[in-house]
Structure 1
Amino acid sequence: MPRQGKPYRVIISGGGTGGHIYPAVAIANQLREINPEAEILFVGAQGKMEMTRVPEAGYKIVGLWISGLQRRLTLDNLSFPLKVLRSVRASHKILREFKPDAVVGVGGYASGPLLYAATSRGIPALIQEQNSYAGITNKLLAKRVQKVCVAYPGMEAFFPADKIVLTGNPVRSDIMHLEGKREEALQHFGLSPEKQTILVIGGSLGARTINQSIAAQLQSIAEAGYQLIWQTGKVFYPQAQELEAKYKNQGVRALDFIKRMDLAYAAADVVISRAGALSISELCLAGKPAVLVPSPNVAEDHQTKNAMALVQQQAAILVRDAEAMEKLVPTALQLVNDEKEQQRLHQNILKMARPNAAADIVNELVKLIR
């Protein structure tokens, strides 16, 4: 237990996608806000995007040799037990050397071995669940940790009720301060202030159906006089680059990954997005009218559950993945043309924002340390 004024030592573990990584970084940043000398170490999975994104955010990260179980028989599955054993052993070594006051798990492959090792050593632990349907790692860890911070009510179906704290999802702090950034944002992307802008985000790894829908109807968007900021992910990016070259003069900007999401949101009048937990939380804070296309390739269809939480409050529009090729672009264009509907969605989605999520999670963490 740290003495008064002594810097906290905290390990944050998890990753695999931006939906795990960015909340983790937001928690770290908030911890530094209240304890500027805090020593923070991230533990991720070797070869996953956290190994580059976390250092870019200014934090040190160590990678474990770990991956998830595939649904079909693969060599990775055969090596899974060995990976778990090695990762637990490596986690014990990390814990011995770093000597954390507490550990935080944000879901994803690496958080399992690290938090298992930490709780077996009696180190205080907290997990943060971003989705409305809990991930398998967090479900397994819930009985071992002291606190479970969640973003949605009704999570007693997955976690012990006495451990749950409803905090919301922490997001990048710059997204909470978009006022006055529109001019800078349009300049950053080389866009015109005279036209409305559609932002397309398929998550940090891209979204095939959304990308195919945009590509098939890009001419309709350009002819309607609207601009497009299009985050494609790496796989679709080469094809999108060819389309960008064709429509660049009409204001089409394709990027495999957007680092300045604050500027992307500031430039956008309407957003097309998957319904991952991080995207939902960011849209609520940004107050952006959105057309959501939940991914069908997720556990228990949890993205549809995430999206419906907004749709039921008249705070977003839902287009199902199977109908996206036919309906997505027409639905988005109709929304861009309807300023009254944009304003209604803007007002309703803002009501669902939880701007203090990171502070609330860190408050729970500090209670564990003290």
Structure 2
Amino acid sequence: MNKKIIIAGGGTGGHIFPAVAIANALRRMQPTIEILFVGAKGKMEMEKVPQAGYNIKGLDIAGFNRSSLIKNIGLPFKLIKSFWQVRSIIKTFQPDAVIGVGGYSSFPVLRFAQTQGIATFIHEANSFAGKSNILLGKNASKIFVATDGMEKFFPANKIMITGNPVRQNIVTNTISRKEGIEFFGLDPAKKTVFVTGGSLGAKGINEAVDAGIPAFTQNDVQLIWQTGKPYAEKASARAAENRNIWANSFITQMEYAYAAADIVISRAGAMSVAELCVVKKPVVFVPFPFAAEDHQTANAQNLVNKQAGLMVKDSEAKEKLVPTVIALARDEQQQHMLRENIGKLAITNADEVVAKEILRIISN
């Protein structure tokens, strides 16, 4: 019998990329498997999932808007409507299992599946679990987590530490530093810092880097700078007047940026952390302070505690970020230690471990 699986969630690349990686692993292990994604209309997954070759159904759902309470007026109606949509999708598709990867759309799908006695699985990417995952965890068949110490959020007997699924092109990257540097038209003799704030950019990081450009130049440090759309114009102007800077709003071929980098400045989203462990780079984390439950600070602190990364608070980035990076660029010993320790945390087969366990449970 062909197995049928629904994967629910999205909203950011940090939810979508692992979901697609799990789907690909399931398909490799069982080529006849039927997979349907469920996401939120108007969100990133509605575009990215079909690009990856999967069908997706969109729900009329939104999250609670903390900045503008008036925008929450329609929220109860959207929730009720989304539950009816979920009911229809599940009754029609009749899945053997539902996997939730986080994001607005995962809650109603898993909640309804649990009322129907369908096996449900949660993938919690962060080291601080989200509220809806904690609620769903009580009745889940299995909860896949990225790090240890998650018993404070979930029943211990349901937890399986798997790490986070990382994109295949990063796991199998064989590009040399020289090739990476040439790709960006920079100088192989200079220390190279890769600055990334995720797909949407990071205001605190961008402003600190911009203010620190003279210091980078004086210390012979060059930049690969992924700015996100809001800062792209400013950064392009800086790059035009400075040979040591390559800047763009988004980098599609991340494997070249990782290959070129001696040091990385990054937010501390779960997927960024997982990728940085795999590529074994010394990192200065600047956690996004407004992430739910401040989970990015928890993610970064987890690595700092293991001497596998450095951290600068977003509120202190303007004063401390560039001096911290330049001091690290001069300290080969510290770079070596950070590389060694972050590399020990790398997990390259999380997608397969998750897929195998799901298939084992639903085949029994």
Post-superposition CA distance 1:263-319 (Å, at most 9, x none): 221121110011111111111111111011122112333222211211112111111
Show the 5 A alignment for 1:326-341. Answer: 326-341=319-334
Amino acid at match of 2:168: S
Partner of 1:82: 77
Indicate whether 1:225 and 2:220 are aligned: yes
Is 139-148 or 180-189 further displaced after alignment? 180-189
Partner of 1:31: 26
Partner of 1:362: 355
Amino acid at match of 2:284: V
Indicate whether 1:100 and 2:105 are aligned: no
Distance 1:32 1:264, change over 3 A: farther
Partner of 2:287: 294
Identical-residue share of aligned pairs (%)? 50
Partner of 1:276: 269
What SS does the corresponding residue of 1:333 show, helix, strand or coil? helix
- Aligned to 2:46, which of 44, 48, 51? 51
What SS does the corresponding residue of 1:236 show, helix, strand or coil? helix
Distance 1:65 1:200, change over 3 A: same
- In the alignment, is the contact (CA less than 8 A) between 1:201 and 1:274 conserved in 2? yes
What SS does the corresponding residue of 1:334 show, helix, strand or coil? helix
Q: Distance in 2 between matches of 1:116 and 1:300?
A: 22
Q: When the two structures are superposed, what TM-score results if normalisation uses the length of structure 1?
A: 0.92
Indicate whether 1:261 and 2:263 are aligned: no
Q: Distance in 1 between matches of 2:62 and 2:241?
A: 40
- In the alignment, is the contact (CA less than 8 A) between 2:4 and 2:35 conserved in 1? yes
Q: Distance in 1 between matches of 2:205 and 2:141?
A: 39
- In the alignment, is the contact (CA less than 8 A) between 2:180 and 2:260 conserved in 1? yes
Distance 1:158 1:311, change over 3 A: same
Partner of 1:196: 191
Q: When the two structures are superposed, what TM-score results if normalisation uses the length of structure 2?
A: 0.94
What SS does the corresponding residue of 1:228 show, helix, strand or coil? strand
Partner of 2:86: 91
Q: Distance in 2 between matches of 1:181 and 1:68?
A: 42
Indicate whether 1:18 and 2:17 are aligned: no
Partner of 1:206: 201
What SS does the corresponding residue of 2:64 show, helix, strand or coil? coil
- In the alignment, is the contact (CA less than 8 A) between 1:195 and 1:225 conserved in 2? yes
Indicate whether 1:119 and 2:109 are aligned: no
- In the alignment, is the contact (CA less than 8 A) between 1:17 and 1:205 conserved in 2? no
Partner of 2:164: 169
Amino acid at match of 2:343: L
Amino acid at match of 1:337: R
- Aligned to 1:66, which of 61, 68, 71? 61
- In the alignment, is the contact (CA less than 8 A) between 1:126 and 1:147 conserved in 2? yes
- Aligned to 1:320, which of 287, 297, 313? 313
Q: Distance in 1 between matches of 2:185 and 2:159?
A: 45
RMSD of the TM alignment (CA)? 1.8
Number of residue pairs aligned between Structure 1 and Structure 2: 363
Partner of 1:148: 143
Partner of 2:124: 129
Amino acid at match of 1:116: R
Post-superposition CA distance 1:141-179 (Å, at most 9, x none): 112321111112221211122211111111112211233
Is 235-244 or 22-31 further displaced after alignment? 235-244
